[in-house]
Amino acid sequence: MSLWLDLLGAEIRFVDTASFGRIRVAEAGRGQEPLLFLHGIGGHLEAYAKNVVPLSDRFHTLAFDYVGHGLSEKKVLDFTPLTFVDQLGELLDALGLGRVNLSGESLGGWVSALFAVKHPERVRRLMLNTAGGIPIVGEKGRADLENLKALSQKNAGQTPTFESVQARMAWLIHPNNRHLLTDELVRTRLFFYLQPGMREVAPRVLAIIPRHDEFLIPLEKISCETLFLWTLDNPVHDVESARRACAEVPRAELYVMKADAAHWPQYEAAGEFNDVTRRFFTSGRIGRP
């Protein structure tokens, strides 16, 4: 299905923030309990194309591009996960949202958790979807991180190509789901990577990757109900990494996806992801389907 068809029913607009400029937002289900989706490093809101509209039956769903990503403003900043924590706070202020639910994938989970620690009064429930920012267990995880760094560098500081973007996005997706990596999806990301200002901004963003261990989440300080949503084939942080991290969070549980998925379960297995998301953010527990 086309990304455009997936997002039919969502409003796409730009929101002005105090320090981070114009931020592109997709939203649906206004008037209901807010649920924000945060994408991964080098990503964009289309990562949640299969979730924003379906979950708007229960929530006011929002996905957005980080500063320096997608079609949001390309500011030259000292990028760390804390940069995006501050952006999230300003975006919530600009949208007039107080207490919200957060679901973040990869860097998005990392940022969401750091935000929940810094602003516990603003987070109702938290989903860490194949999140970064937790300790890496084992040599394979370190090798996966180095592979991510190498693939990402081919799209930063030089002109990205369809092939370099495709290779980077293939890292996200389980081999059984490669049919989801369509030309449209790859060309969408390539379009974003060719935006003015990206040549200067992208290397600064990707410098976060080798600094992973400098900004680990203080897991024991997360006070809200938390779900670690994981996959059996997630790169960098395997299920054991998630299990150990989950044990450090006072009010947390771990859910491992049943469908084949790697680092993009919200896109690779949208039906299962949406069902689990609906149940968790409604009750704070997964329970039985």
Q: Is the pLDDT of residue 47 over 60?
A: yes
Residue 288 has pLDDT above 70, yes or no: no
pTM of the model: 0.96
**Which pairing describes strands 21-28 and 59-64: parallel, antiparallel, or unpaired?**
antiparallel
**CATH fourth-level superfamily of 3-283:** Alpha/Beta hydrolase fold, catalytic domain (3.40.50.1820)
- Kindly report the CA angle at 233 between 231 and 234, in degrees rounded to 5? 70
- Average pLDDT value for residue range 26-49: 97
Q: What is the pLDDT of residues 134-175, one digit of tens each?
A: 999 988 888 888 888 787 888 776 789 999 999 999 999 999
Report the percentage of the chain scoring pLDDT > 70: 99
Q: Which position has the higher pLDDT, 39 or 153?
A: 39
Mean pLDDT, all residues of the chain: 95
The pLDDT, as a whole number, for residue 289 is 47
pLDDT per residue as tens digits for the range 252-282: 999 999 999 999 999 999 999 999 999 999 9
Q: What is the pLDDT of residue 7?
A: 97
> Environment class of residue 154 by beta-carbon count within 10 Å: exposed (0-12), middle (13-18) or buried (19+)?
middle
- Tokens at residue 244, please? 């150990």
Q: What is the mean pLDDT of residues 179-185?
A: 97
pLDDT in tens, 195-251: 999 999 999 999 999 999 999 999 999 999 999 999 999 999 999 999 999 999 999
Backbone angles phi, psi at 41, to 5 degrees: -65, 135
Lowest mean pLDDT among 6-10, 56-60, 281-285: 281-285
- Predicted pLDDT of residue 158: 78
